[in-house]
A and B are shown apart, each in its own frame.
Chain A
Amino acid sequence: MMTPQDIPLYEEVVNGFNRLSAADALGRESSDLRRTRQSAFERFRESGFPTIKNEDWKYTNIARWLKDEYALGGIPGGSGGAAAYGAVAENVRAAVERARVAELDAYIVLLVNGVWQKEDAGGLPKGVELLTVAEARQDPALSGYFERPADGRERYFAALNTALFSDGLFIRVDAGALPAKPLHIIHVFTADHNLLVQPRHVWVVNRQAELKVIESVVTAGVGTGAEAADDKGQATAKIWVNSLTEIIVHSDAKVDHTVVQTPGERTRLVQHTTVRQKRQSLYNNYNFTFPGADLVRNDLQIRLEEDHTETHLYGLYLAAGQQLVDNHTLVDHQKPACFSNELYKGVLLEQSTGVFNGKVYVHRDAQKTNAFQQNNNLVISKKATIDSKPELEIFADDVKCSHGSTVGQFSEEALFYLRARGISEDTAKGLLINAFAFDVTEKIKTAAVEAHVNQLISQHIPLTHA
């Protein structure tokens, strides 16, 4: 087992934090935010990087990726950040093109290593305001969003992000605003040397407002994977993305949030998302993970802080190669009469590993809770592994909660049915995988996004896998 001191990155972040506190490097931040950073950093020092001895990381062994050295991006005295991508700007452009959703009429926001490229701004939907987190965190009117993270006791990567974040995207939707177009946020991560980047995003959707967001996560200049044609043999740099997003959905507001993750190889992506829902709000999340990155770890936490909310979580993960895709979700029912529904489906190819952990927590006050959760896994390859752990923790009695989890193979009958109609075995299997995924993709409300996701599925399910 590695002790924290054996991990080169540990030393790097400790030095980084010391530089930060010494030099006021992050500008005019409030003393509360500094305290928040300090206590988060202390929690990180205490917890270190997670190991498989930590229940939440039991199946996700990150030791092999922590052996690499990474430079700390985004803070002064470190390296990387916005300036570093200039050399591979061409690749960034190419990556943006790959992330683009055909025929989607959206307002495009480009972030490179977590830094908003404002020059692309213009034509922002009415009632929507965008700021860089670098500005927002220094603005006394907004710094409260950073001083009090949703979970004040977070550890590991989330604590590290709180301690060291410098930039990201701040979105504010005015009360009652109904933007005509969705936002398409394209996150490009790029590095010419091993790098840790830690973007932090805060989105505030005010009362009775609506926000539709499509997020695409791609890489340029790291790895090859799907982007092999663009930057062949050029890059060997590794990038670790430790991203944290907080979304506040005020009462009667609606948020439709789609995430498409297609970063390339040598990317280690840890994405933490906390959603705070207020009275009668609606939050829908659609999460799609495709082969490419070495590690994708999504922590999606929904905190139902007021009554009568509605939440839908849909996820689809296709994993291939040596990839490890880990989805942790938490639906925290704190108040009465909330409804939550979750469906995650996984297809495991080659030697990939899938991890699903879905927790539904019902507090004593949360009577009349309705919570459903389902996780289905299709294990295609002999060498693939799946670890599924649905959890229910219930302290209220007038509730309806259930979860189901399955691990299985193609239905012999379905295969036979197709074969009997003259369809080749490979094609039949491809059809069945698509049908399996359909339950999730059909939930996407925007046709263009649905088509985009379906296109990615067929691209990643070459029939030879079957």
Chain B
Amino acid sequence: MANDNEIIDNIANKEYEFGFVTDIEMDVAPAGLNEETIRYISAKKNEPDWLLDWRLKGLQAFGRQKLPEWQNFALPTIDFQKISYYAAPKSKKKYDSLDQVDPELLATFEKLGIPLSEQKTLAGVAVDVVFDSVSVTTTYKEKLRELGIIFCSFGEAVREHPELVRKYVGSVVPYSDNIFAALNAAAFSDGSFVYIPKGVRCPMELSTYFRINTENTGQFERTLIIADEGSYVSYLEGCTAPMRDENQLHAAVVELIALENAEIKYSTVQNWYPGDKDGKGGIYNFVTKRGICKGANAKISWTQVETGSAITWKYPSVILQGDNSTGEFYSVAVTRNKQIADTGTKMHHIGRNTRSRIISKGISAGQGQNSYRGLVQIGPKADEARNFTQCDSLLIGDRCGAHTFPYIESKNNTATVEHEATTSKIGEDQIFYLNQRGIDSEKAVALIINGYAREVLNQLPMEFAVEAQKLLSITLEGSVG
């Protein structure tokens, strides 16, 4: 047992592995949020007038809205005027090859374990690296271009494909959706843009690694993915962030649009700085993610593994508008120390024969609080709609909490909705069984956790699944007892 305690202490006191600050010159906007800042950002990025107007509408919506009070945690006070809304590396050149990229930047990626330099031979992952806010380099662009796939930074898309951006931006998450979405609409710095043309199956996983750098910079990413009729894309998003004392706000917006017969698979591994063991510092991850299955037979699938951030607060949702469309949500959320996760999904069934499946696995350790909050809404026209929800919570230690708040609203008598939830600790009998077979408690817990989360991890693309599994083991090792 002494050994266990030691391990627990080690884990509890473990410094954040990816906490380091990269020293690169930054172009930082003065702190504060007002019309001037918005105009500054817009001008910096040479944006067209319609986008500036849209940003300003977002700013107005932000001013009108109040911070929500329904969440299951105390929202820390955020001084929106103390945040700097724009940061970009100063040397803003275009790179043709990796050799030209700032070596220190490359070193950062190496520390993170992003195989950027080897990627051409590895796994076919094209990485649109977002270093803080501006997209620095994009690989594999050429190959994708041959297929007509557009994968670029949001800013570039605004310049080169304004008609697409203008048509779809804000169509799923309007600027007035919620206060953080409004903030993002007003002040979004950059992000990723993906367009898959009709009938094209994207041959590789598209991936963006986010990093938050530069002190006091809230990161306001905006991702827009459009899958045209009959196309398919799998998109990965993974994050690590350097250690910080001051809380950093991350209010991203992700919009997915799947047209007829299209499929979008969106996977996230989130491991931002969770704060130290007293809960000091750490990222506030307040993200609005929503997809719409616009056409018939479309499919959107969200998969997320959330281990980082001081507060994770997001509900990746799907609007099932097209008949026979499908929405999926697979989630593993781990909280330890004083981490808080309030996450889940919303499935809006509008079209006929729409189906949704929700699998949520929460793991709470230490003083972590984990909430599942989900909405399954069946509209009057969603005949034969079908939903299955399962959310399980695992508790490790007697100071953590697990909470489940599912909302089921059905206005259609042909719909079938099922929800089940369980909460328990790791069974002593399970550990005993494994001990009997010569597996120590430590490994037994890792085994049980991985088995518990398997249903979700299996949904991740290969490269991610390995990373995620490792992450889970590291996070929870030694929590036996």
Contact = CB atoms under 8 A, between A and B. Distances in A.
A407 interface: yes
Given A367-B398, A406-B417, A409-B413, A399 B70 contact: no
Contacts of B399: 364
Interface in A358-414: 364, 367, 377, 379-382, 384-409
A387 B398 contact: no
- Tell me the dominant secondary structure on chain B's binding face: strand
B422 A391 contact: no
B421 A387 contact: no
A59 B408 CA distance: 11
A405 B419 contact: yes
Given A382-B413, A387-B408, A403 B425 contact: no
A402 B422 contact: yes
Interface stretch (B38-46, B137-145, B201-209, B389-397): B389-397
Contacts of A119: none
A399 B395 contact: yes
B19 interface: no
B425 A398 contact: yes
Consensus secondary structure, chain A interface: strand
A389 B400 CA distance: 23
Given A386-B408, A390-B406, A394-B401, A409 B423 contact: no
A408 B423 contact: no
Contacts of A405: 406, 408, 417-420
B409 A387 contact: yes
B419 A404 contact: yes
Nearest to B421: A403
Contacts of B400: 395, 397
Given A394-B402, A397-B397, A379 B410 contact: yes
Contacts of A120: none
Given A395-B401, A402-B421, A406-B417, A386 B410 contact: yes
Contacts of A409: 413-416
B420 A404 contact: yes
Contacts of B403: 391-394
Given A394-B402, A401-B423, A402-B423, A387 B407 contact: yes
Contacts of A403: 404, 419-421
A409 B413 CA distance: 6
B423 A388 contact: no
A107 B205 CA distance: 74
Contact of B421 (A381, A392, A396, A408): A392
A55 interface: yes
Contacts of A382: 380, 412-413
Contacts of A392: 393, 402-404, 421, 423
Contacts of B423: 392, 394, 399-402
Q: List the 8 shortest-distance A-B pairs measured between CB atoms, nearest first.
A: A397-B395, A407-B417, A379-B413, A402-B422, A392-B404, A388-B408, A404-B420, A405-B419
6 contacts: A379-B412, A386-B408, A388-B419, A389-B407, A390-B404, A391-B403
Interface of A: 55, 59, 348, 364, 367, 377, 379-382, 384-409
Interface of B: 70, 378, 380, 393, 395-425
Given A382-B413, A392-B423, A396-B398, 5 more contacts: A379-B410, A390-B404, A394-B402, A397-B397, A408-B417
